[in-house]
Amino acid sequence: LSPTVLSAPAGQGEELVGAERIHRVLRHWLRESNGPQVPVQAENPRPNVVEGAPFPVADGLVQDKSA
């Protein structure tokens, strides 16, 4: 079982044996696919929080004190 858009993991009649060999194949596929790609961070990763609250409260909602 391998991606069809990338090279074959082993030659005809060859078997993949051992973690080191499998690791080499996976690294080769990463190079072929120009990866891994780094995800783009969101512009504002934190929600709007009320400063000075004991815990950051998103969107200014009041925390339930009985919880």
- Tell me if the bond preceding 36 is cis, omega within 30° of 0: yes
pLDDT classification of 25: cutoffs 50, 70, 90: very high
Query: Which residues are paired to 58 by β-bridges?
Result: 49
pLDDT score of 47: 63
> Which one-letter amino acid corresponds to residue 42?
A
pLDDT score of 19: 95
Residue 34: strand, helix, or coil: coil
Is the whole-model pTM more than 0.75? no
If we measure between CA atoms, which residue out of 33, 21, 19 comes closest to residue 11?
A: 21
Condensed to tens digits (0 to 9), the pLDDT of residues 26-67 reads 999 988 888 777 777 767 666 666 666 666 656 656 666 765
